[in-house]
Chains A and B, each alone.
Chain A
Amino acid sequence: MVIPHGNLTKAALVSMDADKKIVPVDMTQLRGILNYDPDEFVFTALAGTPVSEISKTLAEHGQFLPFDPPFSSSGATLGGTVAAGLNGPGQFRYGGVRDFIIGVKFIDGAGQKLKGGGKVVKNSAGFDFPKLFVGSLGRLGILYELTFKVFPAPQAYMTLSFNPGNIQSALDTACLLAGSSLEPFAIDIVPPGRLEIRIGGNEKANESTAGLIEKCAGFPASRMTGQMESETWDKLRDFKWAQEEFLIKVALNPSLLCELDNILEKIEASRHYSAAGNVAYISTERNNLLFIDDTLKKMKLSGVALRGDLEYPRLGWHPARKAETKIQSAMDREGKFLPL
């Protein structure tokens, strides 16, 4: 069996068994941008290309990766970001990695080179394999070339910090702003009750939007711009706050956020919520894992461990497993990849 990997920024997804039955395939040397045409809003790169390298190239043309890839400064690769299905806080504005991936080339268990999708921003021909690979955990094939749609980057950012004081108020304000036409780029909730809102656009427009956001929230905010502002989000994207052995992502929805937060508070797990309550990240020790797994199952939430030593990284409720198995058997007839 094989497991492809990049710079191991999400090491829990890469099983390295002691008896070496699973062969790791290091993708980091397969790197480089093959084609980038700023006028088309499209680039193609090899899977082992660090996302930071891509962001840098795009920035030279005033463009960016709107899904805001995490672990960028720790060396995350494009292929790893797709396989892990990870989005950063900036996904709130335009969508996640699934909304920007448009083409994939991959190797299946028989060693065949295959492809899905295309190289133009709009395409509905054939099955959407590019999306299927988002979150595939390196278990459906080895991605080696990826094509993405990109967008023009906002000229400037501003962050507004609110401190409603408790999780419920922070969430209420988050939902209010998420449903407003003020178009925030990021809406993150930091327990016990802080709210970080990132806006982007022309500097003057940001000033005026910031005023409207404060009005909508009904709280005054502290405002941040410039380098300090961007560093705040860099740290978040790199999970600097998460100090424990395990880092777990949970696909959440705002209705369940407070309930989950109360439970996590009791076991003293550090956590952070992003995308207006659509995702939770939990940092915890091994002794809480079973309890968290069980909690997620009861709450019908699905999770995946990104960091920490685990035989199998997925936690919680996975109702689609039956369908996943069907797809995996169709795609990996030789059984060369780990079960999903």
Chain B
Amino acid sequence: MKTFKDALQRLRHLLPGERLLIDPAHLAAYESDGLTAFAVTPRAVVIAETSQEIIETVRICHDTGIPFVARGSGTSLSGGSLPHSDGIIIALNRMDRILEIDPRQRIAVVQPGTINLAVSVAARSHGLQFAPDPSSGQVCTIGGNIAFNAGGAHCLKYGMTSNHVLGIKAVTAEGTVIELGNRSTESTGPDLTGIFCGSEGLFGIALEITLRLVPKPECFHTVFASYDSLQKAGDAVSQIIASRMLPGALEIMDKLAIEAAEAAVGAGYPRDSEAVLIVELEGTSAQVEHDRNRLSGLLDDSGADVIHVAGDDLERERIWKGRKSAFSAVGRLSPDFIVQDGVVPRRLLGKALRKIQEIARQHKVRVANVFHAGDGNLHPLIMYDGRVEGALEQGEACAAQIVQMCTDMGGSITGEHGVGMEKRAFLGNMYSEDDINLMHRVRRGFDPKEIANRGKMFPSGEAPSLSLYGLHPLEKKGIISRE
């Protein structure tokens, strides 16, 4: 492997020893991401501290043809930051500076390793926030949010990460620095910022990102309602949508998820219910006051067993904590799990949930459900025990059937986690060979040697050698969660 030796030699000139990891013990920490079923050991890890180091590292990779994977906190649920066995990891955690917050223009300029939540924390004193709020917001980084176009619980109203990115300075996989977008919410010319977001790291690495900040709503009205059937909860969502309200969030959890969340954080959800619906209204107090009366009437007529309104911020936080920790809490019920994030048209949610239970029975696996009901984004959590031979395969077969169901219903294979490693076999469910060839060509425009995140997203991608792995260490500690 002369080329790798060449690359390593050049990297040694570029970086001090403690920031170029080659010792297997050090590399082990980078073997896996949020898709914990798989692990691959990279050849080396570069811990970058400056944009110039990233640019130089990418140039070395391009010259030598060594694949690289950019990695923030490694929380990707689609295996997006899984290493390549012949390649290196470029770790961006130390590129975590917020370079600028401009409250007048309502923008933040950040480095890619900046933690998602840190942006909102920094903007808070100006009454502003960064709207995308994935459940892993305490840990996941903006670079990763951009690569996989991360979502969260408030996407119906606010959109995804890409809707909040105005400009990106990036290095392409060829080592060229490009500037996309600007500091305005407007642009001229094709929206390259838009296509860079969600490109799954296949074009290159974002170095500096200009984010749009939005004012924090003046007031919130957060309610949960419990039901004796998922159908009733789903019908309530349809009623709310039909009433011309635009809630900030509409979330449903099923029985298994409720039990787990209650055991973990005690959010106050009734344990004996089949479904809990969380509705959050937000906006000016005058508008929320008006909408809350309508909402209250709708929920009263929706057949709910218990309706509970958060009386203060603490209670609101508790309701959300239950929701956001639901999946890691389900981890208590099973040593391993796979989470899907397919999307179905909202009106088919009830049908989709029944079908998921059917599929689960067929495969003899348990599935818990938490989903963004407002935008039809499912999150079936498929439980298996990785120590039992064939269990992972069984879980994967169940997951595959669920993904298929989503596209059969006219939906998407992924709402917010991206295709990554996990769903690349299904990209063809949504796009023709010609469509996918076009994606290949666009990618090669920025990465002719296909070294940036090689093996991800494309169906025919070269598979890194995989091995079975357990839960993500941070997940075991309950620090991060899957949404």
0/1 per residue, B324-335, Cβ < 8 Å to A? 000000000000
| Assembled-state Cα–Cα distance A251/B183 (Å) | 9
Stretch touching chain A among B90-98, B273-281, B425-433: B425-433
Docked-complex contact B283 and A323, CB < 8 angstroms: no
Chain A residue numbers with a CB within 8 Å of B410 are 119-120
Docked-complex contact B199 and A127, CB < 8 angstroms: yes
Stretch touching chain A among B81-89, B108-116, B153-161: B153-161
0/1 per residue, A117-132, Cβ < 8 Å to B? 0111111111111111
Chain A residue numbers with a CB within 8 Å of B105 are 175, 253-255
Chain A residue numbers with a CB within 8 Å of B372 are 122
Chain A residue numbers with a CB within 8 Å of B193 are 131
Chain B residue numbers with a CB within 8 Å of A250 are 188
Given contacts A278-B185, A323-B192, A330-B444, A114 and B343 within 8 Å (CB-CB):
no
Could you say which of A37, A120, A152 contacts B244, with CB atoms under 8 Å apart? Answer: A152
0/1 per residue, A247-288, Cβ < 8 Å to B? 001111111000000000000000000010011000000000
A340 at the interface (CB under 8 A from B): yes
B377 at the interface (CB under 8 A from A): yes
Docked-complex contact B163 and A95, CB < 8 angstroms: yes
Given contacts A124-B151, A128-B195, A180-B215, A327 and B287 within 8 Å (CB-CB):
no
Docked-complex contact B284 and A205, CB < 8 angstroms: yes
A239 at the interface (CB under 8 A from B): no
Q: How far is the CB of B385 from chain A (nearest CB, A)?
A: 30
Q: How far is the CB of B90 from chain A (nearest CB, A)?
A: 20
Q: How far is the CB of B221 from chain A (nearest CB, A)?
A: 13
Docked-complex contact A324 and B192, CB < 8 angstroms: yes
A223 at the interface (CB under 8 A from B): no
A297 at the interface (CB under 8 A from B): no
Docked-complex contact A114 and B435, CB < 8 angstroms: yes
0/1 per residue, B281-303, Cβ < 8 Å to A? 00110110111000000000000
Residue among B103, B151, B246, B291 having the largest count of chain A Cβ atoms under 10 Å: B246
How many CB-defined contacts (below 8 Å) exist between A and B? 287
Docked-complex contact B444 and A120, CB < 8 angstroms: no
| Assembled-state Cα–Cα distance A136/B188 (Å) | 9
Docked-complex contact B286 and A209, CB < 8 angstroms: yes
Chain A residue numbers with a CB within 8 Å of B427 are 125-126
Least CB separation from B415: chain A residue: A122
Docked-complex contact B217 and A181, CB < 8 angstroms: yes
Chain B residue numbers with a CB within 8 Å of A320 are 178-181, 189, 192
| Assembled-state Cα–Cα distance A41/B250 (Å) | 14
Docked-complex contact A279 and B195, CB < 8 angstroms: no
B465 at the interface (CB under 8 A from A): no
B316 at the interface (CB under 8 A from A): no
Segment 205-220 of B: residues with Cβ below 8 Å from A: 215-218
Stretch touching chain A among B17-25, B38-46, B344-352, B394-402: B344-352
| Assembled-state Cα–Cα distance A179/B443 (Å) | 38
Q: How far is the CB of B194 from chain A (nearest CB, A)?
A: 3
| Assembled-state Cα–Cα distance A78/B193 (Å) | 22
Docked-complex contact B376 and A85, CB < 8 angstroms: no
Q: How far is the CB of A156 from chain B (nearest CB, A)?
A: 11
Chain A residue numbers with a CB within 8 Å of B346 are 39-40, 121
Docked-complex contact A125 and B151, CB < 8 angstroms: no
Could you say which of B179, B215, B286, B415 contacts A205, with CB atoms under 8 Å apart? Answer: B286
Least CB separation from B189: chain A residue: A135
Q: How far is the CB of B237 from chain A (nearest CB, A)?
A: 10
What bracket does the count of chain B residues touching chain A fall in?
35 or more
Docked-complex contact A122 and B375, CB < 8 angstroms: yes
Chain B residue numbers with a CB within 8 Å of A40 are 345-347, 376
Least CB separation from A208: chain B residue: B286
Least CB separation from B418: chain A residue: A124
Chain A residue numbers with a CB within 8 Å of B182 are 251, 253, 302
Chain B residue numbers with a CB within 8 Å of A134 are 190-191, 194
Chain A residue numbers with a CB within 8 Å of B423 are 125
Docked-complex contact A124 and B191, CB < 8 angstroms: no
| Assembled-state Cα–Cα distance A179/B411 (Å) | 36
| Assembled-state Cα–Cα distance A275/B183 (Å) | 13
Docked-complex contact A124 and B185, CB < 8 angstroms: no
| Assembled-state Cα–Cα distance A41/B157 (Å) | 11
Docked-complex contact B244 and A62, CB < 8 angstroms: yes
Docked-complex contact B188 and A124, CB < 8 angstroms: no
Least CB separation from B150: chain A residue: A124
Segment 153-182 of A: residues with Cβ below 8 Å from B: 153, 155, 175, 178-182
0/1 per residue, A166-207, Cβ < 8 Å to B? 000000000100111111000000000000000001101111
Docked-complex contact B190 and A128, CB < 8 angstroms: no
A318 at the interface (CB under 8 A from B): yes
Chain B residue numbers with a CB within 8 Å of A127 are 195, 198-199, 439, 442-443
B2 at the interface (CB under 8 A from A): no
| Assembled-state Cα–Cα distance A134/B181 (Å) | 12
| Assembled-state Cα–Cα distance A324/B438 (Å) | 15
Segment 114-162 of B: residues with Cβ below 8 Å from A: 126-128, 148-149, 151, 155-157, 159-160, 162
| Assembled-state Cα–Cα distance A122/B154 (Å) | 11
| Assembled-state Cα–Cα distance A244/B178 (Å) | 36
Show 11 A/B contacts (Cβ-Cβ < 8 Å), sorted by A: A95-B163, A96-B186, A99-B159, A118-B411, A121-B155, A124-B160, A125-B431, A128-B197, A134-B194, A152-B245, A304-B188
List 19 other contacts, CB 8 Å, given A120-B412, A249-B186. A38-B242, A39-B238, A113-B434, A121-B375, A124-B160, A128-B199, A131-B194, A131-B195, A135-B187, A179-B103, A182-B218, A183-B215, A201-B286, A201-B287, A254-B105, A304-B188, A318-B189, A327-B195, A330-B444
Across chains A and B, which 6 residue pairs bring their CB atoms closest together, nearest first? A131-B194, A205-B286, A181-B218, A326-B445, A152-B244, A123-B412
Q: Which residues of A contact B (CB under 8 A)?
A: 37-42, 62, 85, 87, 91, 94-96, 98-99, 108, 112-116, 118-137, 139-140, 151-153, 155, 175, 178-183, 201-202, 204-209, 212, 249-255, 275, 278-279, 302-304, 314, 316, 318-324, 326-327, 329-331, 333, 340
